[in-house]
Amino acid sequence: MIRQLFWVLPTIVWAGLGWNEMSRSAEPATPDGSAVYLGKPLEYWTAAASEKTEDPATILDALTQAYQSDNLNSMVAAADAMQALGPQAVRAAGLLTETLDHIQPWVRTAAMDALAAMGGQSVPALVEAFETGSAGTRVRAAMVLGAIGPEARAALPVLQAAATTESETMRRRLEAIIDAIHGPTEATDADRPAAASFRTSDEATFVAVAAKTDDWPQFRGPGRDGISAEIGLLDEWPEAGPPLLWQLDGLGKGYSSVSIAGGTVFTMGDRIGADGEEHQYALAFDLETRRQLWATRVGPPHSDGPRSTPTWDAGIVYVLGTSGDLLALQADSGQVIWQRNLPEDFGGVVMSVWRFSESPLVDGDRLICTPGGPEATMVGLNKRTGETVWKCAMPSIGDAGNDGAGYSSAVVAELAGVRQYVQLLGRGLIGVDAQTGRFLWGYNRIANSVANIPSPVVRGDYVFTTTSYQTGCALLHIQRDGDRFRAEEVYFLGPRDFENHHGGVILLGDYLYGGNGQNNGQPTCLKLATGEIQWKERGPSAGSAAVVYADGHLIFRYDRGPLALIEATPEALRIKSVFEPVKGAGPAWAHPVVHRGHLYLRHGDLLACYDLRARD
């Protein structure tokens, strides 16, 4: 199994340079302008690496030439192909470590993926990079060693020595990496509690929430579960993909997805303002004309833009900027109704370097968010005024992970007879009483010290949670004894079984679907009650995958750009179609949206709309 990861330190701002603006090619070209390496275009060599149709040494020679070019697209494609070669690409390990601090995060990511895929063969080059490289190179080299796991044991003396002299933050990271290299402790069957018992329910039950509205008012849809109630969609796509209806440019940098309500598209982006400076904005566009309705400044920009998706409720849009600026805006004008700041007002902190990423949750008259502060881990605000209703101070639940907010978005559920907000934090998963903000229960084992991201999934009194970075997944049974609550572990699966990085998982019937692996989107189906893997196979693209469900199918949006249409069945992996949509800059991490027969894809500065409707 190829092991991949992503680690971006926001130490170098992109400085307004786009992906294609920085790319140039001086290589000999074919008549259509494509660069050639060893007499053939790069596409030939990437296919050869995947299909093993040429001598691996020759393939690597060509890929090495491409990686040494000045064309960023060629560099990433070459590194992805080296990943497919795995240990056979080890001759390029030194070259790849030289780019672990490349100015473009996308190049760094591809290099790390390729090095991790080489397994133990790349350890000497990674150790040398850790000992001699820049600060960014050292951190990323260490992260790759952690992703390699037990095969990187030769690096332990160097990492252990460094952990005694580094800063507190770096020491915690190194300790987590050292633990990952030691490898997880596998539980025996006798150690595992009995499987959960669920009533078999028809799939229609789980699209019921989505069916209450035909809008997509928040992150992952009406139910915050990635499920669309749309029907009458294509069950296969044309070879070139579904029809492209329109493309909107000018959103700015960012990984925010879109929310759609009342004929308006809402999102966020970092872009240049009227003063000539870059700022972070909440944006609104007319869905029919694509005309910008308003742009409201939220706060300072981030190195690669915001992550949060706006939440629409009753004519108000709630947005959270990367610096913790929380705003309530009039949906029709963008006028600010109220504003709070999570670090200033609540002592908010984030578990690691990527800043605030949560999409706010509206529940009744409350606005729920996660500052991550010691006295205000989660807060409930009056959604109309922004005034504090309650603050939840989380007690210690274990040593795994880091203090602070994670990168997940909370969900609301009725568990053990009490309405609760379930959220994944830097220290793990917690449940908070929706009415009072009282801390109810916590689960530490699922936490890692790098980034805890996917939203939890709830069924009855059970919660499924997963994180990456050599962690895994777990099913918890939330039980109550009087006023006391506890999270009983039904099962825990290690990273060799299933770990979702940041594309999310979807529960349909009795089965979970999502992408498996660090910075990987390996299509996987597992049974919720037992954790039994129904199928797990290599996906059609490198990189992680954000997933949405509609009309009997899953749409996997890979961060390299491609989309896959996969039948939602536990019987077998059935990939119905794959196509390449229009591309923007950098990773395509924004979650896809299905709304009124159309598929919306945010990629950096652009938003594309495709027609998914079946025709008679």
Say yes or no to pLDDT of 210 above 60: no
Are the CB atoms for 359 and 375 separated by under 8 Å? no
Task: Write down the pLDDT at residue 504.
Answer: 97
**Sheet containing 418-425, strands listed edge to edge, beginning at the edge strand earlier in sequence:** 411-415, 418-425, 428-433, 439-443
Task: Write down the pLDDT at residue 271.
Answer: 97
Average pLDDT over residues 336-350: 98
pLDDT band of residue 180 (cuts 50, 70, 90) is confident
Task: Write down the pLDDT at residue 35.
Answer: 85
- pTM for the full predicted model: 0.82
Task: Write down the pLDDT at residue 179.
Answer: 81
Quickly tell me which residue has 């509690």 as its tokens: 193
Average pLDDT over residues 182-207: 48
Task: Write down the pLDDT at residue 104.
Answer: 78
pLDDT winner (highest mean) among 147-161, 211-225, 254-268: 254-268
Among the listed residues 482, 598, 491, the one whose alpha carbon sits nearest the alpha carbon of residue 548:
598
Task: Write down the pLDDT at residue 183.
Answer: 67
Say yes or no to pLDDT of 412 above 50: yes
Say yes or no to pLDDT of 313 above 90: yes
Say yes or no to pLDDT of 30 above 70: no
Q: Which residue has the higher pLDDT, 38 or 33?
A: 38
Say yes or no to pLDDT of 6 above 70: no
Say yes or no to pLDDT of 20 above 90: no
Say yes or no to pLDDT of 24 above 70: no
Query: 137: which residues sit within 8 A by CB, 6+ positions away?
Result: 97, 100, 101, 129, 130
Among the listed residues 307, 267, 271, the one whose alpha carbon sits nearest the alpha carbon of residue 287:
267
Say yes or no to pLDDT of 42 above 80: yes
Q: How many residues make up the chain in this entry?
A: 616
Name the average pLDDT for the chain. Answer: 89
In angstroms, rounded to a whole number, what is the distance separating the alpha carbons of residues 289 and 573? Answer: 39
Task: Write down the pLDDT at residue 208.
Answer: 42
Backbone angles phi, psi at 47, to 5 degrees: -65, -40
Coil, helix or strand at residue 511? strand
In angstroms, rounded to a whole number, what is the distance separating the alpha carbons of residues 451 and 474? Answer: 17
Average pLDDT over residues 153-163: 92
Q: Which of 180-189, 194-203, 263-272, 290-299 comes out lowest in average pLDDT?
A: 194-203
Q: Which residue has the higher pLDDT, 19 or 125?
A: 125
Residue type at position 217: P
Say yes or no to pLDDT of 18 above 50: no
Backbone angles phi, psi at 413, to 5 degrees: -160, 160
Angle at the Cα of 535 (from 532 to 536), degrees rounded to 5? 105
Q: Which residue has the higher pLDDT, 211 or 35?
A: 35
Task: Write down the pLDDT at residue 52.
Answer: 87
Query: 138: which residues sit within 8 A by CB, 6+ positions away?
Result: 129, 130
Average pLDDT over residues 445-470: 96
pLDDT band of residue 388 (cuts 50, 70, 90) is very high
* Percentage, residues of the chain above pLDDT 90: 76
Average pLDDT over residues 168-191: 67
265-276 pLDDT, tens per residue?
999 999 999 999
Are the CB atoms for 405 and 420 separated by under 8 Å? no
Task: Write down the pLDDT at residue 190.
Answer: 43
Say yes or no to pLDDT of 25 above 90: no
Handedness of CA 109, 606, 242, 510 (dihedral sign): positive
Average pLDDT over residues 407-426: 97
Average pLDDT over residues 430-440: 98
Give exposure, 105-142, as e/b (b: 16+ Cβ within 10 Å).
bbbbbbbbbbbbbbbbbbbebbbebbeebeebbbbbbb
Say yes or no to pLDDT of 23 above 50: no
Among the listed residues 438, 419, 440, 414, the one whose alpha carbon sits nearest the alpha carbon of residue 429:
440
Print the SS3 string covering 179-223. HHHHCCCCCCHHHCCCCCCCCCCCHHHHHHHHHCCCCECCCCCCC
Task: Write down the pLDDT at residue 119.
Answer: 92
DSSP 407: S
Task: Write down the pLDDT at residue 34.
Answer: 72
Query: 362: which residues sit within 8 A by CB, 6+ positions away?
Result: 218, 311, 313, 318, 368, 383
Q: How far is CA 198 from each of CA 210, 413, 497, rounded to the nearest angstrom? A: 22, 17, 22
**Sheet containing 472-481, strands listed edge to edge, beginning at the edge strand earlier in sequence:** 457-459, 462-467, 472-481, 484-493
Name the CA radius of gyration of the chain, rounded: 23
Query: 599: which residues sit within 8 A by CB, 6+ positions away?
Result: 242, 555, 592, 593, 609, 610, 611, 612
Q: Taking the C-alpha atoms of 401, 405, 411 and 415 in order, what is their torsion angle to the nearest 10 degrees?
A: 60
pLDDT band of residue 195 (cuts 50, 70, 90) is low
Task: Write down the pLDDT at residue 194.
Answer: 53
Task: Write down the pLDDT at residue 530.
Answer: 97
117-154 pLDDT, tens per residue?
899 999 999 999 999 999 889 988 998 998 888 999 99
H or E segment to which residue 292 belongs:
strand 292-299
Q: Which residue has the higher pLDDT, 23 or 487?
A: 487
Among the listed residues 163, 191, 189, 166, the one whose alpha carbon sits nearest the alpha carbon of residue 177:
163
Q: How far is CA 472 from each of CA 197, 452, 528, 596, rounded to the nearest angstrom? A: 21, 11, 14, 35
How far, rounded to the nearest angstrom, does the alpha carbon of residue 509 sit from its chain's CA centroid? Answer: 24
Say yes or no to pLDDT of 158 above 50: yes
Say yes or no to pLDDT of 207 above 80: no
Q: Which residue has the higher pLDDT, 179 or 575?
A: 575
Domains of the chain, first to last: 36-182 (1.25.10.10), 203-611 (2.130.10.10)
Task: Write down the pLDDT at residue 224.
Answer: 97
pLDDT band of residue 169 (cuts 50, 70, 90) is low
DSSP 289: T
Q: How far is CA 614 from each of CA 75, 233, 237, rounded to the nearest angstrom? A: 38, 5, 10
pLDDT band of residue 106 (cuts 50, 70, 90) is confident
Are the CB atoms for 551 and 231 separated by under 8 Å? yes
Task: Write down the pLDDT at residue 19.
Answer: 37
Say yes or no to pLDDT of 311 above 60: yes
Average pLDDT over residues 57-78: 91
Q: Which residue has the higher pLDDT, 457 or 470?
A: 457
Residue-by-residue DSSP string for 568-603? --SS---EEEEE-----SS---SPPEEETTEEEEEE
Tokens representing residue 367 in the block: 């606005």
